[in-house]
Every structure is written in structure tokens, then in C-alpha cells.
Amino acid sequence: MIDNLIFRKECNPGPIADSHSNSAGAVRIALLVVVMMTLVPSLGFLSVSPGIESSHASVCSAMAGPVANAGTDHTEWYGNITRLNASLTNSSDYRLSLLTYNWTIEDNGTRNILRVGVPVSQYSFSTTGIFTVNLTVTDPLNRTSSDQVVITVVPKAELGSNRRLDVGTDSLTINFNGSNSEPRDLIVSYQWNITKGDRSYASGTGPLFNYTFPKSGNYTVTLTVTDSRGLSNTQSIFVNIVPRPSFIVKHWAFTFIGLPIILVAAFVLIGRWRKGAGLVTKTDVEKARLQWKTFKKDWKIFKANRLGFAGLLILIMFVLMAFLAPVLSTVPNPDMHEEPRVENPLDPTGPPLQVNPLPPSLKKSIYTNWTHPLGTDHKGQDVYSMTLYGARASLIVGLVATAISVILGTLIGLGAGYFGKITDEVLMRVTDFFLVLPWFPLMIVMMAILGQKFVWVVVVIGITSWPSTARVVRSQVLTVKERQFIVRAQAVGASDSHIIRTHILPNVLPLIFANTVLLIAIAIFSESFLDFFGLGDPSVISWGSMLESAYEQGAFKAGHWAWIGAPGLAIVSMVLAFSLVGYAVDDVLNPKLRRR
């Protein structure tokens, strides 16, 4: 204990208030040590051992005082509150909260000294420039240490927020305003540049800049401001020029539902006209009655399958969502971006905070003046409205891609099964080749080559999912073509095309129809898969792209479950619904699978 007192006295060379009293105290302690060592030599812990010098050195080393650390050199925008951080200061003797931190800042000819008791402080520079900030750290024993950090304060370029323009609706001329850049009195140069990809479209100078965009696309508008000290800052915004929607996109329901019905009806009417038959004959009426009776019987069987009926109700709900999306939506345009900002309570003079994504609420938002039942995404787009419109993309892909797949698979299956021999060998080897290839990686490669267009999404899914249909149709054709009515038709000289069209195809259609419903579910899942991996069309609202943006913006970690759950639940529900309906239809058309 006495040794510790001596070491502590020698290791703390702080200022001496009374040299006479300190010298007298040292003499008394020395005499006491000599007496105790003489009277009690057997007490080993009081004897001076050879290791005392090393012990003394280690104690002195442990009491070496603080080591200041003012942080790393960095750049700040003018107007931002600069964070002075000395939390990396090393002090083995005392906690950082027991130290005193003195910051010395030369700002615009004024010397400012901040004396604080915490390692983190804040300061707002009054002008731009390169500043050397000195830090002095003092511990309770008055030991000090110094460090410095260089902070470069640059002007702040301000040119507004991202813009979106619709061709044919909005004017494609934008007046950009950079006069809100700070500090206004020191900025001497404004440099504008507009680019699209690697190509530069326009440039200009001055605080105001007008430009008329020539065509659709995503443009980057960059503003660089320079002050009188030669310090500069560059900021960019994005301008999205959306092309005029095509007729197919604008009238998607008519294109993919109404138009096929009209074409089929026209084909039937033209066929009857060429044969000279009436539009509706007594035979047609009898056939219609028989088909209606068969339909009612099959419908009764279908309704008995509760899972299949539940799946049908879910599909009807999604179809209504797609058709009534403009009516059910809570915003006029699902692509509408709202980027409200609020003042930072911790930094009132700094840049405002982005409030997106907004939480779900049934009340009108004070920021957007719209209702967001499922909140918004990071761009301010309404999640509920995008979920409604996303049903359109899924249904279009599911129906059209499946139609492509079924047509290819049916043609190849009919040809291979009916003609056999070398035709069967060639077609089935091609089918086996596509079956062996992993179709997800194949779709990824094809999308990377063709580009991110919605039409290519549909085509790629269609031409990669036909092999299963071809195999199923071939197996059924091999069974049907051996029946007696096929042999009789061949005996009377009927052509192959007539036999396939009149006798074989009608017997294969029920199996094709049941397989088609299941393929729609696979096509919808494939479209969501491609969109989630960023291979879909970014201009089309889809559930997969919603999940992709949620993942990229950290919605999973942040707990924005409405943003994640709405498209995720929609995908699972639609795929499950088509699967349930497909299995129920298979039970109806295949008596062997029907429950007795």
C-alpha cells in the first residue's frame, strides 16, 4: 500500500499548490518506510524487491494520461450542423465522461472555443472553406492531449426533387431552379448537365435552366455549384419521361379477353358461311342443350370440391381487382410519387428528413392528402393501389404466357404422338432437352439477352414451360389413335389433319384444359420470380417488382410488413387459387380421380 502511494505520487506530476507541505509529507513517508523495513524485515510485501522498478514502470505506464482523437478529416455541406466526435479518444484511467473536451475553431475570423463534458459536440460553420479544428482533452489530474481534424465546408447545390412526366399529358419542358443553393452570396458558378446513360444531351450555366426532353426515358440532371473559394458541390435528380401507353396496354382487358372471343366467333361464323349452313340450326340448339346439361352436371361435381370452389372465389376476387382497380384505388395514379420531407428535430438547420415509407392508415395523410391503407413505399407510391394494379400484370402474364406454352406443347405433342417414328424421336428429344435444362436459369439468361420488356417476360415464360404439356398430350394421343373410330376414319381415306382436328384433339382437350389451369399458376410465379430479381419491366407495376423494391430498401429489417405482406400474400393467394381450381377441374374431367 505504501509503495502504491509512492508510485501514485511520482506518476501524477500535476501542478503543486504548496511545495513546502508536499516536501514535508514526502519526508514523513520516507522515514515511516525506513522504520517499518527495519523493525519488520520478515514482511516480504514491504521489502524492496528487484522487480519493484518494473512494477513502478508498469504503474506509470498505466497512468500515462489520455490520448486525444478528433476523428477523421471529412467534408460537410454548408448549412449542415457539423458533428465533432471525440469518442475514439483513448483513456485507460478514466471514463470518457470524466474528461473535458475543448474544441477550438477559427471560423470567418472569429475564434470559437467549445468546452464540453461529453465526447460528441455540434457546430454550424458560418461560411464555406477549409477549417482546422483543434481538440484538447483534459483528465481530472490535469493531464492533457491534443489532436486536430480538417473539415471542408462546401456549398450546397439544391435543384429540387425527382420528376415524372407522361408523354401526351404533361409538358416535356422543365424549368430547373438552382437559386436555392447555399450560400447564395458566395456561389459564382452554376453548371448544369443532362445525361441519359452514357450520352450527354444538354448543358448550361446560371441559376435557372430550361430544357425540353426529346423522348421518353430516364434522365439524370446534375447541378454543380462553385463558390468564390473554388469549393464545389454536385447534386443530381432523376427525370422519368414515361411514354404514351400503347393501345394494348391501355385496353388490356379487351386485347387479351374480348379480342380472342371475337376472333373465335368470327372463325365459327366464317366456317358456317363457307358451308352454306345457317347461323343457328336445330342441331346447334340440341347440341347447346346437351352441353348445358353436361355443364350443370360438371358444375355440381366442381362445387362439391370445397377447395376448388374456394380457389374459384379467390380468382373472381382477383379478376374484379384488376378490372376495378381505378375505382378501388385511393390515389388517381399508382405511379404517382410523393416525397414529403419534414424538419429534422435533431438538426433543424440541416437537410429535411424523408418521411417515406409512410405507415398504414385509414385517415388522409397530412403529407400527401391521400389515404394510404397499406402505407407507401420509399418513393411515396401507395402500396394498396399498386397491389390492385399488380393483379393486371399477373393475369396477363398467366393467361398469355400459358396460351403460348399450351399451343406449342399441344402442337408438338399431337405431331409426336400421331405420326410416331422419326417425327416422334426428333420432337421428343427436343422436349427432353428442354426438360433437362433448369428453366429458371434458362429464363434468366434469355431475359438478360432480350432485355427488360414486358412482352419478353411473357414470351420467355411461354417458350420455357411447354415441355410438360407436350409430354402429357403425346401420351394421351398414343392412347386415342389406337381406338376403332380412328382406324375407321383412316380406312375411309380421311386426311391426317382431319383426323387430328376432328377426332383426336377433342378427346385430348379436357386433359389440356386441366393442365392449362395449373400452368397459369406456374407462369404467375415465374413472372414474380423474374421481377423480384430485377429482370422484369420496371415500367410495369407488378407484385414481384414491389417485393424487389421492398427488399432493396431494407423493408424486411425495418419491419414495414404491409409493404412486404400485400404483394407477397397476393402472389401466394393467386398461385394457390389456380392450383386448387386446376386440381378440381382434373377431378371433374377424369372420373378415375373423382372421389366416390
- Residues 276-293: tens digit of each pLDDT: 666 667 777 888 888 889
Residue 213 and residue 147 share a domain: no
CA distance 521 to 586: 15
Share of the chain above pLDDT 70, in %: 80
Same domain, yes or no: 473 and 585: yes
Contacts of 50 (CB under 8 A, 6+ apart): none
C-beta of residue 29 within 8 angstroms of C-beta of residue 6 = yes
What backbone phi and psi angles, to 5 degrees, belong to 81? -80, 120
The domain boundary, picked from 227, 244, 261, lies at: 244
In Å, how far from its chain's centre is CA 381? Answer: 13
What phi and psi values does residue 223 have, to the nearest 5 degrees? -120, 125
Residue type, 151: I
Q: Is the pLDDT score of 91 beyond 90?
A: no
- Whether the pLDDT of residue 99 is over 70: the answer is yes
504 and 447: one domain? yes
pLDDT at 47: 40
- Cα of first residue to Cα of last residue in the chain, in angstroms, is 96
* pLDDT in the model for residue 371: 85
The boundaries of the domain holding residue 107 are: 74-154
Band of pLDDT at residue 225, cut at 50, 70 and 90: very high
Per-residue pLDDT at 93 exceeds 80: no
Q: Are residues 49 and 82 in the same domain?
A: no
Q: What is the mean pLDDT of the chain?
A: 80
Indicate the DSSP class of residue 351. Answer: P
Is 345 among the domain residues? no
Which CATH number goes with the domain that contains 141? 2.60.40.10
Coil, strand or helix: which one is 173? strand
pLDDT top residue among 250 and 48: 250
Q: Which residues pair with 376 in a beta bridge?
A: 382
Q: Which residues contact 362 (CB under 8 A, 6 or more apart)?
A: 371, 373
Q: Which residues lie closer than 8 Å to 571 by C-beta, 6 or more apart?
A: 394, 524, 525, 528, 543, 544, 547
pLDDT one-digit tens code per residue, 440-494: 888 888 988 888 888 899 999 999 989 989 999 999 999 888 888 888 888 888 8
Angle at 162 between CA 157 and CA 168, to 5 degrees: 135
Asked, for residue 296, whether it belongs to a domain, the answer is: no
Q: Which of 154, 178, 194 is the last residue of a domain?
A: 154
Please give the Cα distance from 104 to 439 (Å, whole number): 65
Does the structure show a pLDDT above 80 at 137?
A: yes
pLDDT tens digits, residue range 355-407?
677 888 888 877 777 788 998 888 788 899 999 999 988 988 998 899 999 99
Report if residue 147 sits inside a domain: yes
Say how many domains are in the chain.
4
In a domain, 514, yes or no: yes
Q: Which residues pair with 134 in a beta bridge?
A: 104, 148
Give the helix/strand (H/E) hosting 305.
Answer: none
Confidence of residue 347 (pLDDT cuts 50, 70, 90): low
- Residues 528 and 464 both lie in one domain: yes
- pLDDT tier, 507 (very low <50, low <70, confident <90, very high otherwise): confident
User: Residue 378: enclosing H or E segment and its boundaries?
Assistant: none
Q: Which stretch of DSSP H or E encloses residue 89?
A: none
Q: Is the pLDDT of residue 334 over 70?
A: yes
pLDDT digits (tens, 9 = 90+) for 146-199: 999 999 999 999 888 778 777 766 678 888 999 889 898 899 999 999 998 778
Same-domain check for residues 202 and 78: no
> Do residues 203 and 191 make contact, with C-beta atoms less than 8 angstroms apart?
yes
Query: Is residue 60 scored above 50 in pLDDT?
Result: no
Task: Indicate the helix (H) or strand (E) that contains 182.
Answer: none
For the cut 80, the answer to whether the pLDDT of residue 348 exceeds it is: no
- Structural domain includes residue 279: no
Task: Quickly state the pLDDT bin for 580 (edges 50, 70, 90).
Answer: very high
3 state SS of 212: strand
For residue 50, the model assigns a pLDDT of 42
pLDDT score for 20: 41
- Residues 150, 169: one domain? no
The answer to whether residues 404 and 535 belong to one domain is: yes
CATH (domain of 413): 1.10.3720.10
Q: Which of 192, 181, 178, 179 is nearest to 154 (CA)?
A: 181
Task: Check whether residue 57 and residue 79 sit in a common domain.
Answer: no
- What pLDDT sits at residue 26? 46
The residue out of 10, 37, 62 marking a domain boundary is 62
Mean local confidence (pLDDT), 63-86: 84
Residue 35 has pLDDT above 80, yes or no: no
557 shares a domain with 499? yes
Q: How many CB atoms sit inside 10 A of residue 389's CB?
A: 22
SS3 41: coil
Asked whether the beta carbons of 412 and 361 are under 8 A apart, the reply is no
pLDDT score for 384? 92
- Whether 139 and 93 have beta carbons less than 8 Å apart is answered as yes
- In angstroms, the CA 484 to CA 467 distance is 29
Question: Does residue 533 lie within any of the structural domains?
Answer: yes
**Same structural domain for residues 8 and 121?**
no
- Tell me if 5 sits within 8 A of 59, measured CB to CB: no
Whole-angstrom distance, CA of residue 584 vs CA of residue 24: 104
The Cα diameter of the chain in Å comes to 140
Note whether 36 and 171 are same-domain residues.
no
User: Which of the residue ranges 116-120, 222-226, 581-585 has the most confident prediction, judged by mean pLDDT?
Assistant: 222-226
